[in-house]
Amino acid sequence: MASSSPTKPSPTKVSKSATCLCGAVAVTVTGVDKGAVLCHCSNCQRSSGSSFAHNYRFLDADLTFDKGEDAVTRYEDGDTTNGNVLARHFCKVCGSNVFLQPSTPPRMWILHTGGMQDKTQPARELFTHNKHPWIGDVTPVRAKV
């Protein structure tokens, strides 16, 4: 009698959308949900103008423009830890970071969560050796904008 190995179910694909600050760019990514992360790498710190980037990752994914493909510009970031190029895409009109795509397999798209309506809590932190030691130790103040 031949034994059969159980087959894994196909990973569930999800879709999430993001826009830039001015609304000129809107994208939707559909792929295998890899969840949200905080990235503390020095490039994400410089690119975001903050202490980290809050990113949502998708594997085996496809990105579609809902609007504004012509309003997006791309920066090839080759100064990465592993030497692989990371294409950073942002709006030419307002300068908002919108999405990233690594140049090497697997096929992955990464949305900046600031442009997403669904602000998913991150499950992991990356490049924590660059994490500022004071993060989490600041007294919250209710800002009036």
In a domain, 139, yes or no: no
Determine the pLDDT at residue 6. 66
In a domain, 96, yes or no: yes
pLDDT of residue 144 exceeding 80 = no
**Residue 143: Cβ within 10 Å count:** 5
Strand 124-126 to strand 108-112: parallel, antiparallel, or no bridges (unpaired)? Answer: unpaired
As given in the structure block, the two tokens for residue 115 are: 């442009």
In a domain, 138, yes or no: no
pLDDT confidence bin for 11, thresholds 50/70/90: confident
pLDDT confidence bin for 105, thresholds 50/70/90: confident
pLDDT of residue 3 exceeding 60 = no
In a domain, 137, yes or no: no
Element (H, E) at 99: strand 97-102
pLDDT of residue 28 exceeding 70 = yes
Q: With a threshold of 0.85, does the pTM exceed it?
A: no
- Report helix, strand or coil for 96: coil
In a domain, 19, yes or no: yes
Boundaries of domain holding 102: 14-130
**CATH code (residue 76):** 2.170.150.70
* Chain segment 45-66, per-residue pLDDT in tens: 998 999 999 999 999 999 999 9
Phi, psi of 106 (to 5 degrees): -75, 165
